[in-house]
Each structure stands twice: as structure tokens, then as C-alpha cells.
Amino acid sequence: MEDYLYDLDSALDLPMEAAHALTRGLDSRALAELAGQPRDAAYEVRELVPSVIEELALDLAPLPEAVFTRARETASAYLSGSLRFPLAAMRLTQLLLDEEYLSFDNRPEAAYPECEHLWLLNEWLEAVSLGYSDTSGYLFESSEAAERYFGGLARAITDDNANR
């Protein structure tokens, strides 16, 4: 539900997710009504979400924790090989450098020194996406250097044993 409320997944089909929840045994009048809505029924979906949350007594994570959870999932997908470096790096930087997220004083990533240069990675990714292929000396010496930094960052934020 956080993905919808905080707009963390633009591809989210909330009525389909509601239908899946019903098949998993969750039951609520509002959830069933939500499951019956077409994906593009934005107004109806928006109106039903508070009722679904109330009827199911959902405990929602605050935005900073929800964002960091998605960032960790992205990092894990990269480390497992199911998400390639450029896409994983873009997703993670979009999550952790979002204006709304940055407006919070207590953000989970602040406890990770590896995140200190995340904005440099974001700038490098933007330069590469704009076609600047010769980025040597600019932020990272090479694509490999950028990926090494990202790999260290991904390992740090997915390390459950970190004492933060």
C-alpha cells in the first residue's frame, strides 16, 4: 500500500494487487470493491484506499522507511544479478534523492557513510544518459569505477548485520 500512497511504483496496478490479496485470504468490502475497479479508475481507487487501510487495519511504514525498504530491495536485486547496474543505480538514486524523501530529517540512509556520494553517482548517470561517453575524470573515472562504488553501496545497505 505504501507504494501507492507514496507513489514509489508508477507501474503499480492496485486493483490487481487487491484481487491477489483477496485470493490470499484477505477479506474486506473495500478490498473487494477495489479489486473490481479498472486500473485506470484513478478517482475510484483513490477514494477506496483509506477504507481498505481502515478495514484491514494496515500498519503503514512512514515514507522514509518505505523508501529505504524499496532502495534495499533494488540493491538486493542488483547483488543477486536480477537487475543490471545502470537500471539498479537509476532506481536507487531516484528513490533516495527524491525531494519529498529528502525533506525528512531522519532518513535511514543517513546512517550509511557509503551513501555520502550518491549524488555524484546520480550526476554521472545523468551525464551518461545524455550521451557523454568520455566521463573520465568527471565524477567517476570509468563505468567500472561507478559500478564498484554502487556495488559497495548496495552491499552496505543490504547488510542486515550493520550496526547503524
**pLDDT per residue as tens digits for the range 115-148:** 888 999 998 898 888 887 655 556 788 889 899 9
* 11-37 burial code (b ≥16 CB/10 A, e <16): eeebbebbbebbeeeeebebbbbbbeb
Which residue ranges make up each domain of the chain? 2-55, 63-158
pTM across the whole model: 0.80
Q: What is the pLDDT of residue 163?
A: 42
Give residue-wise pLDDT tens across range 47-66.
999 999 999 999 999 999 99
| Amino acid present at 4 | Y
